[in-house]
Amino acid sequence: MAERTPTRAVTIKDVAAASNVSRATAARALNGYGYVGEAVALRVTQEAARLGYRGNRVAQALRQGQMPIIGFIPGDIQNPFFARIAHDIDVLLRSRRHNLIIASSEENQKQERELLDSLFALNLRGLIVAPASAEGNDHLQRLAAEGYPLVLIDRAVPDVACDTISVDNARGAHEAVNYLIRNGHRRIGVIHDDSRIITAQERLGGYRQALSDSGLPVDPHLMAVSQSTVQHAIDATIRLFSQPDRPTALFTLDSLMTTGALLALRSMGLCVPQDVSLVGFDDFDLATFTDPQITVVSQPVGQIGPLAVQMMMERISGGDSPPRQVRFPTRLIVRGSVARMSQSAR
Amino acid sequence: MAERTPTRAVTIKDVAAASNVSRATAARALNGYGYVGEAVALRVTQEAARLGYRGNRVAQALRQGQMPIIGFIPGDIQNPFFARIAHDIDVLLRSRRHNLIIASSEENQKQERELLDSLFALNLRGLIVAPASAEGNDHLQRLAAEGYPLVLIDRAVPDVACDTISVDNARGAHEAVNYLIRNGHRRIGVIHDDSRIITAQERLGGYRQALSDSGLPVDPHLMAVSQSTVQHAIDATIRLFSQPDRPTALFTLDSLMTTGALLALRSMGLCVPQDVSLVGFDDFDLATFTDPQITVVSQPVGQIGPLAVQMMMERISGGDSPPRQVRFPTRLIVRGSVARMSQSAR
DNA sequence: CACCTGAATGAGATCGGTATCACATCTGGT
DNA sequence: ACCAGATGTGATACCGATCTCATTCAGGTG
């Protein structure tokens, strides 16, 4: 049928020639605008189908100014949290005839800047970003100020006026720690990371606040610095629980740290929840896989992607309403990893 | 500084005007080809920097025929196996100044076809695909025949002549089942799926072959049909182990099924490995998280992405050597989930 | 019957960058 | 002094699709 040299694609010129009309008329027939004769329109569409014509998106994009593509810069695509969101965004965008480019910043702001530049140069329609750092976001600020479609997810940052979707980290952490306190715990350890990721800062803030609200001291000996990897969390947990007067409960700031803590506690021969109670931030597969299952603060992962896409599409189609800042509540899922402290043990 | 209206980007025309040279000269200076005077070159690059000029990739792509983008169609981006590969590909492509578009087929061939079309229309430089089905791959075949840069990963399919990277599924499965046999097991169950994914078929083939090689019968009662989800695997496992003469060992064809099997066995009060020995195909986080840890057939995940990128870049830069078909060996990682059958128990 | 309106079409500009070609200038060798 | 070749620069075509503008022709109106 369609006689095609291997390398050359069918252009609108070919269709026009095959239909004995001009390029302009062919374009009108194929895109259905302006005046086109019925017979001609039919002929053109048939020829297009016969030749296997597919419009060249690049040329269209040049004319119209942009590619039908949205960029997504998550903190780390291998993190199930972001993988899930990426998947949701991808599916929804596709249903709106757009594509998604994913480029992971690997929690590195320098890389984030580079990615931003490189994606921006592709003339995408907009960007969805989970900023790697709470500070130094002038690159985002500039984009937002220019009115470029930008949606921030998971991590709100100050001074950047754009649509933002985040989670109430402070309150979630507060609730988790408070739950431990209500169960009689007084020495509550925390594995946190010293990075500039704002979610971690907010969660640590919630931990501190919960302690002070109950009149408990914020003891530096109970706070172990880690990074957001399983291995670092293992080390930090071991450090924390090798102390003479060790915590009776532990709060971990994300799922990787929770995993690390579990592995470390097991290697130290400490049982959850008999020896140590545990609450983690962010729900994850493993949490229901252990025995007992882990009590966690869960985030509404499934709502973030869809809302991000909705906000993005509104921006793209010219909505210039003031930026929306949505903050989802978290939910404490009580499972079996917290034991009630007896009075005597305090 | 750079006086920019919000919507209009800096073009090479602006740079040329600011430098008092023609567009052609500006282009030469910025891309470093042809003859350009030293002083002029300096002036142009400085003006470009001052104005914040970023080349328009879309225009470049139109001229040169393609976008500096590779497409990737995995079976399921939420599967850690593919997430890992996607990440590797992304990092390597970026170091070669390319971007990656990921579009998950969700193991659905129809969707795969649609994605292929939609990505193809974007004039990408090439596609990396994990075909959803072993059959009906005329869409891939056509692309390969045209000489379009195409690399198939994880799943080799017959009749498509292009670079392919896969894993020796049959041999891996054979080795796993053989290991169970050597440990005295005779009634070895398998959870398989009836889908058209070729890896599953090959692994099931290895299971069958290992049994026949040892003179053991292939008993349909020992084979439970599932799908590649945790929930389906749970059901299949329960069915399998509710029979009167239940298996003493179980082989699962992928990590999701292994997870499901573990959950099901626990819910039935069966202990691994005392009551049932278990070997799974594909290593995964959970496997080292359980007690005892699970013996698995591991695939060289970390090698697939890099090799795929290498092959792709060779194709893009015009290499027209005959298609390479690389098949990686698997490795049996012996951990604690297989018990030796005593003679008496047979 | 001149004039207008709407339908149908083609010619050509345009998007931003790149590549070819032509023109000018300069150098050095004979 | 003259020409070949190297060097620097601008004009212009081109990639493929779209859109504006001009043109043509049919039919209706005063």
pLDDT digit string (tens) for A296-307? 999 999 999 999
Answer whether residue A345 shows pLDDT above 80: no
Chain B contact for A316 (CB, 8 A cutoff): no
Please give the pLDDT value at position A343. Answer: 56
Distance from residue B97's CA to nucleotide C25's C1', rounded to whole Å? 39
Share the mean pLDDT of chain B. 90
Q: Does any domain span residue B340?
A: no
Partners of residue A69 in chain B, C-beta under 8 Å? 101, 122
Report, as an integer, the average pLDDT of B247-257: 94
> Same domain for B198 and B110?
no
A101 and B99 within 8 Å at the Cβ level: the answer is: yes
Half-sphere exposure of A79 (CA within 13 A, CB side): 23
> Same domain for B157 and B306?
yes
> Same domain for A183 and A267?
yes
Q: Which nucleotide is nearest to B35 (CA to C1')?
A: D8
Pairing of the two strands A325-328 and A295-298: unpaired
Q: How far is B286 from chain A (nearest CA, A)?
A: 7
Q: How far is A94 from chain B (nearest CA, A)?
A: 9
Report, as an integer, the average pLDDT of B149-157: 95
> Same domain for A111 and A142?
yes
Structural domains in chain B (count) = 3
Answer whether residue A43 shows pLDDT above 50: yes
Report, as an integer, the average pLDDT of B117-128: 89
> Same domain for B159 and B143?
yes
Chain A contact for B238 (CB, 8 A cutoff): no
B122 and A59 within 8 Å at the Cβ level: the answer is: no
> Same domain for A187 and A265?
yes
Q: How far is B170 from chain A (nearest CA, A)?
A: 28
Q: Does any domain span residue B282?
A: yes
Sole residue written with tokens 């569409």: A45
Q: Does any domain span residue B251?
A: yes
Please give the pLDDT value at position B231. Answer: 84
Distance from residue B35's CA to nucleotide C30's C1', rounded to whole Å? 28
Sole residue written with tokens 């971990």: A252
pLDDT band at B338, cuts 50/70/90? very high
Out of B282, B299, B316, pick the residue that ends a domain. Answer: B299
B55 and A123 within 8 Å at the Cβ level: the answer is: no
Please give the pLDDT value at position A46. Answer: 93
Of the residues B12, B76, B99, the best mutation for testing chain A's interface (the one with the most A CB atoms within 10 Å of its CB) is B99
Chain A contact for B116 (CB, 8 A cutoff): no
Q: How far apart are CA A126 and CA B318, in angstroms?
A: 33
Report, as an integer, the average pLDDT of A169-185: 97
* CA-derived radius of gyration, chain B: 27
> Same domain for A180 and A115?
no
Chain A contact for B58 (CB, 8 A cutoff): yes
Instruction: Output phi, psi for A187, to 5 deg.
Output: -100, 95
Q: Does any domain span residue B254?
A: yes
Query: Which residue range forms the structural domain that includes residue B313?
Result: 67-167+301-328
- Residue A61: which of B7, B58, B100 has the nearest Cβ? B58
> Same domain for A205 and A239?
yes
A78 and B77 within 8 Å at the Cβ level: the answer is: no
B100 and A99 within 8 Å at the Cβ level: the answer is: no
Answer whether residue A2 shows pLDDT above 60: no
Answer whether residue A3 shows pLDDT above 60: no
pLDDT band at B65, cuts 50/70/90? confident
Distance from residue A49's CA to nucleotide D22's C1', rounded to whole Å? 31
pLDDT digit string (tens) for B223-250? 999 888 888 999 999 999 999 999 999 9
* Residues contacting A60, CB < 8 A, separation 6+: none
Q: Does any domain span residue A2?
A: no
**How crowded is residue B246: how many other Cβ atoms within 10 Å of its Cβ?**
17
Closest-approach residue (CA) in chain B for A103: B90
Sole residue written with tokens 């945790």: B230
- CB of A55 within 7 Å of some strand D atom: yes
Report, as an integer, the average pLDDT of A43-69: 91
pLDDT digit string (tens) for A196-242? 889 999 999 999 999 999 999 999 999 999 888 888 999 999 999 99
Sole residue written with tokens 């994990």: B130
- CB of A30 within 7 Å of some strand D atom: yes
Q: Does any domain span residue A3?
A: no
Report, as an integer, the average pLDDT of B147-171: 94
> Same domain for A223 and A89?
no
> Same domain for A27 and A152?
no
Answer whether residue B346 shows pLDDT above 50: no
Chain A contact for B286 (CB, 8 A cutoff): yes
- CB of B285 within 7 Å of some strand D atom: no
Share the mean pLDDT of chain A. 91
Report, as an integer, the average pLDDT of B59-66: 90
Strand D, nucleotides covered by protein (CB < 7 Å): 7-12, 14-21
Q: How far apart are CA A96 and CA A124, in angstroms?
A: 15
* Residues contacting A108, CB < 8 A, separation 6+: A132
Chain A contact for B292 (CB, 8 A cutoff): no
Answer whether residue A35 shows pLDDT above 50: yes
Q: How far is A312 from chain B (nearest CA, A)?
A: 17
- CATH number of the domain to which A247 belongs: 3.40.50.2300
Of the residues A66, A95, A102, A142, the best mutation for testing chain B's interface (the one with the most B CB atoms within 10 Å of its CB) is A102
Q: Does any domain span residue B345?
A: no
Burial class (CB in 10 A: 0-12, 13-18, 19+), B283: buried
Closest-approach residue (CA) in chain B for A145: B6
A90 and B83 within 8 Å at the Cβ level: the answer is: no
Half-sphere exposure of B129 (CA within 13 A, CB side): 32
- Residue B101: which of A7, A100, A290 has the nearest Cβ? A100
Degrees, nearest 5: CA angle B137-B141-B147: 155
> Same domain for A271 and A187?
yes
Answer whether residue B33 shows pLDDT above 90: no
Q: How far apart are CA A179 and CA A241, in angstroms?
A: 21
Answer whether residue B83 shows pLDDT above 50: yes
Report, as an integer, the average pLDDT of B199-209: 95
Strand C, nucleotides covered by protein (CB < 7 Å): 7-12, 14-21
Closest-approach residue (CA) in chain A for B76: A87
pLDDT band at A77, cuts 50/70/90? confident
Please give the pLDDT value at position A146. Answer: 83
Inter-axis angle of helices B230-241 and B255-267, to 10 degrees? 50
Half-sphere exposure of A42 (CA within 13 A, CB side): 3
Q: Does any domain span residue B177?
A: yes
Chain B contact for A61 (CB, 8 A cutoff): yes
Answer whether residue B139 shows pLDDT above 80: yes
- CB of A31 within 7 Å of some strand D atom: yes
- CB of B97 within 7 Å of some strand D atom: no
Please give the pLDDT value at position B158. Answer: 85
Query: Which of B250, B255, B294 shows the shortest CA–CA distance to B268?
Result: B250
B6 and A147 within 8 Å at the Cβ level: the answer is: yes
pLDDT band at A76, cuts 50/70/90? confident
Answer whether residue B343 shows pLDDT above 60: no
> Same domain for A263 and A312?
no
A99 and B118 within 8 Å at the Cβ level: the answer is: yes
Please give the pLDDT value at position A140. Answer: 95
Distance from residue A26's CA to nucleotide C1's C1', rounded to whole Å? 37
Contact predicate B14/B53, CB 8 Å: yes
Chain B contact for A58 (CB, 8 A cutoff): yes
pLDDT digit string (tens) for A111-124? 999 899 888 888 89
Partners of residue B86 in chain A, C-beta under 8 Å? 77, 102
B59 and A57 within 8 Å at the Cβ level: the answer is: no
The percent of residues above 70 in pLDDT, for chain B, comes to 97
